[in-house]
Amino acid sequence: MKGKLLVIGLVAALLLAVAGMIAAMDMQASGPAARYLPAGTSPSDLPEPESEGAKLVARHCQACHSVPLPSLHYAEDWQEVIARMRVLAMSRVMAPLPVATPAEERALLAYYQRHAPKPPAAAAAAAAAAEEP
Ligand code: HEC
């Protein structure tokens, strides 16, 4: 009787360990989302890595894929991306993730927009303006 309980206990512990490992794998940048972003980025690659914005990125944006650098989108496109990511983060039921508060999300957006590359037209206009005497 005791031996049977021990076996059941061991099997349960094993199942829990496997479930935990699967959940942990999903949390890292090896899940399905990984292939959407260039791999190999880390929080230290972010512009102003010590800034509040970069810290928010490190906290909220690398659970499902590699660290998304601001250079991936023009400023005007980041809002849509970040809103989509919020929905994805909120939909995680099995292994819940910290979801950015509205204030944190505004700071994230401001950070991405501040460091986003200029679209070619805007960059050309800025260069032309800089050349004018
Ligand atoms: C819950 C998991 C999850 C979290 C957290 C998450 N993402 Fe994503 N991300 C995904 C998935 C899934 C995709 C691919 C599907 C898609 O693009 O909608 C993706 C794709 C992306 C892409 C590439 C697609 C595109 O539109 O450029 C960028 C950039 C991105 N995420 C940025 C972010 C940022 C910034 C954050 C933090 C605010 C973040 N992600 C947090 C799951 C997540």
| Cα dihedral 71, 77, 83, 85 in deg (nearest 10) | -40
Q: Which ligand 1 atom is at minimum distance from the Cα of 63? A: 5
pLDDT digit string (tens) for the chain, length 133 residues: 688 888 888 888 888 776 666 555 544 556 667 788 888 999 999 999 999 999 999 999 998 999 999 999 999 999 999 999 999 999 988 888 889 999 999 999 999 999 999 888 888 888 899 998 7
> Which pLDDT belongs to residue 33?
77
The answer to whether the CB of 106 is under 6 A from ligand 1 is no
Regarding the beta carbon of 54 and ligand 1, being less than 6 Å apart is answered: no
- Please give the tally of structural domains in the chain: 1
CA torsion through residues 18, 23, 28, 32, sign: positive
Do 106 and 78 contact (CB within 8 A), yes or no? no
Say if ligand 1 is within 6 A of residue 37 CB.
yes
Residue 75 is part of which domain span?
2-131
- Coil vs helix vs strand at 132: coil
Q: Ligand 1 centroid vs 16 CA: distance in angstroms?
A: 28
